[in-house]
């Protein structure tokens, strides 16, 4: 990942951290297309956060690839109430950037 991609990922991460979790998804299990949306959100967040601070190993990359496939599957079915689409589109973009980074090492 080049410097501008790292900067973009860091900026998207900062925006994500400021964005509240969609109110319609809080405090309950939400499943769309067989995917637990809270778990998907947290899994991508962990992978992205890790990719910004430490070497990105194959295990993390594979986990993010699975999450990326899952978020692609659910996006068309997400109700936009509370900004959910924007949140999951941002998660998709961050996951894709982190996966592209491969194993570049610490940032």
Contact 100/76 with Cβ under 8 angstroms? no
Question: Can you read off the two tokens belonging to residue 84?
Answer: 């959910």
Whole-angstrom distance, CA of residue 9 vs CA of residue 3: 10
Query: Who wins on pLDDT, 9 or 5?
Result: 9
Higher pLDDT, 98 or 105: 98
Residue of higher predicted confidence among 102 and 95: 95
CA–CA separation, 88 and 106 (whole Å): 26
Please give the distance of CA 103 from its chain centroid, rounded to a whole number: 18
Closest CA to 58 of 1, 103, 92: 103
Q: Which two tokens stand for residue 50?
A: 């890790």
pTM: 0.86
74-84 burial code (b ≥16 CB/10 A, e <16)? bbeebeeeeeb
Query: Each residue of 8-48: pLDDT tens digit?
Result: 999 999 999 999 988 887 766 788 899 999 999 999 999 99
Q: What is the mean pLDDT of residues 92-97?
A: 95
Parse the chain into domains and list their residue ranges: 3-101
């Amino acid at each position: 990942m080049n410097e501008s991609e790292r900067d973009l990922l860091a900026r998207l991460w900062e925006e994500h951290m400021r964005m509240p979790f969609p109110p319609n998804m809080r405090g309950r299990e939400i499943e769309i297309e067989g995917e637990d949306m809270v778990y998907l959100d947290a899994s991508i967040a962990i992978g992205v956060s890790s990719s910004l601070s430490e070497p990105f190993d194959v295990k993390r990359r594979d986990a993010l690839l699975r999450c990326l496939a899952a978020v692609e599957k659910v996006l068309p079915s997400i109700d936009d109430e509370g900004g959910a689409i924007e949140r999951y589109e941002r998660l998709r973009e961050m996951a894709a950037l982190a996966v592209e980074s491969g194993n570049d090492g610490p940032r």
